[in-house]
Amino acid sequence: MKPIRLAAGLSAAFMLSATVSTVALAQAPVCSAPVKVLAQPRDGLTLLEDSKAEFQKLAGAGFQIDYLNENDRRAKSRADASTVGNYNVYYVDEANVALFASSKWIVPLADYYPADYDYADFDPGRQKVATYDGKVWFAPLTGGGDLMVYRKDVLEAAGIQPPKTLDDLIADVPKLTNADKGMYGIALRGARGSGANVWRWMPFFKAYGGKWFDGDKPAFNSEAAVKATETYLKLFKDSAPGTQTGSWDESTGAFLSGQVAILVESTPLSGMAVDPKTSQVIGKIGFLPPPSPLPGGGYGHGLAIAAKANADEASKKCAGLFIAWATSKENEKRRLDAHQFGELNRTSILSSKEFADIYGADLGQALAETGKVTAVNFWQDPRWPDLGDRWGIILEELVAGTRTDIKGGLNELEAYANELVKKK
């Protein structure tokens, strides 16, 4: 009996210890230290900070988000990723995901994004922007294309129909400007940057048939680029004050404060325009896709796992869990409840009844229409930020009037592009 007792005792002890260790493993915190995130200000992230305790409970550690505006965030994350690697999670965007991925500054997300959080639920367009070289690199926080938002009252008073074509837009904008009354036909972006003035210029470039590269040969120094730049500069004559050296904030700020008649901008503007907290033009605006043949600028921003700061698997899992939780359906529902239109990315939310109840049928229809003309306008290559920023400087000089030779600027850019191609 004794051996049986002993065996039974040992088995019981083994099972008990196995159960205890399983429970311990199940309860073992995924994160051993707070997740450090480098991001740019987003309402969705600010809202996320209210639920810090929830993540603490889920992962065993909190998180800390450092915010920098878009250009600074890009510069800082690039410097951090290539040197010290202080941050576990980077906020990346369509313009620099190729650079970050090819430089191995971030790791593929799919391996560390828990299946329960349903990555496939994200809008397919945003999934496409988050994919480079066949792998998914970030989970979207925002994204979309372009919409034309216009002031119904101002256009009606001027006897002008909302422009359906680019030619209509070019003809209508000067007629809508009445500087004495503080009204400007349009607002564009003048500030340098591949994600600033170049972003808004690119739809014109594409509309006139422009192409960045033909294989490894630069193809952008063309009649299309000259025409696009001439059009951009012509429209800039009626752009609201402050936009000549401004970007998204300045142009949307001018529209939302009631100084602009027509604005073609990224889709989050539409949510801001119907939000009483940010808009002074509620009830006076209409939405349409960009005038044809302007394509919308497809974009997406999101969170990616840093490679350097997450040297081991456990850190990567922790960062992956944070990203999954931050972009989860539950958190997106909170953003919908807070009327954060620009922060919605999941099809289950965008097609929900609550969404339709809050934003109405018009906006939903305009979004569906603009989805058809949304395109990737930039050069999808790690060298894009370098090339795009270079053109941004030249374009800013042209907008400011410190240079006037469009062709000379394009020749300069082509010489730079050839250098970039040689270096590859």
Partner 1 sequence: MARRTSLPVTFVVPTIAILLVLSMVPTLYAIVIALQNRELSSPDYSWVWLSNFGDLFLDRRFLNAVWVSVKWEVVTVGATMIVAIGLGVLMFEVASPRLRNVYCLLFIIPVLLPRVSAAFVWKFAYHPLYGIATYPYRLITGGLIFDPLSKPSTALFAVASVDVWQWGLFFAVIVLKLLETLPPQPIEAARLDHASRWQIHAFVTLPMLKAPLISLMFIKMIESLRSFDLIYVMTRGGPGVATETLDMYAFSQGFIESGKVSYASAMAVLMMIATVITFTMLWKRVQA
**Interface positions with partner 1 (CB under 8 A):** 71, 74-76, 78-79, 82-83, 99, 102-103, 179-180, 182, 190-192, 241-242, 244-245, 259, 382, 385-386, 389-390, 393, 396-403
- The DSSP output letter for 34 is P
Give Cα 272 to chain centroid, integer Å: 15
CB of 402 to partner 1, least distance (A): 4
CB of 241 to partner 1, least distance (A): 4
Length of the chain: 424
Query: Read out DSSP for 273-321?
Result: HT-TTT-S-TTSEEEEPPSBTPPEE-EEEEEEEESSS--SHHHHHHHHH
Q: Are 343 and 332 in contact (CB under 8 A)?
A: yes
SS3 36: strand
CA atoms of 221 and 218, how far apart (whole Å): 7
Q: Are 197 and 397 in contact (CB under 8 A)?
A: no
User: Is 213 exposed, middle or buried, given 0-12, 13-18 or 19+ CB atoms closer than 10 A?
Assistant: middle
What percentage of the chain's residues is helix, strand, coil (to nearest 5)? 50, 15, 30
CB of 192 to partner 1, least distance (A): 6
Helices 52-59, 313-326: crossing angle, 10 deg rounding? 140
Structure tokens at 234: 């012509």
CA atoms of 361 and 209, how far apart (whole Å): 33
CA atoms of 148 and 108, how far apart (whole Å): 35
Which lies closer to partner 1 via its Cβ, residue 318 or residue 413?
413
CB of 132 to partner 1, least distance (A): 14
CA atoms of 404 and 397, how far apart (whole Å): 8
Q: How many CB atoms lie within 10 A of CB 332?
A: 23
Which lies closer to partner 1 via its Cβ, residue 254 or residue 367?
254
Does residue 293 have a cis bond before it (omega within 30 degrees)? yes
Q: Which of 52, 134, 136 shows the shortest CA–CA distance to 305? A: 136
CB of 158 to partner 1, least distance (A): 20
From residue 54, alpha-carbon distances to 58, 63, 143, 240, 320 in Å are 6, 11, 26, 44, 16
Which lies closer to partner 1 via its Cβ, residue 190 or residue 268?
190
CB of 242 to partner 1, least distance (A): 5
Return phi, psi of residue 236, to 5°: -65, -20
Which lies closer to partner 1 via its Cβ, residue 330 or residue 419?
419
CA atoms of 161 and 156, how far apart (whole Å): 7
CB of 399 to partner 1, least distance (A): 7
CB of 68 to partner 1, least distance (A): 12
Which lies closer to partner 1 via its Cβ, residue 301 or residue 390?
390
CB of 411 to partner 1, least distance (A): 13
CA atoms of 112 and 110, how far apart (whole Å): 5
CA atoms of 162 and 152, how far apart (whole Å): 8
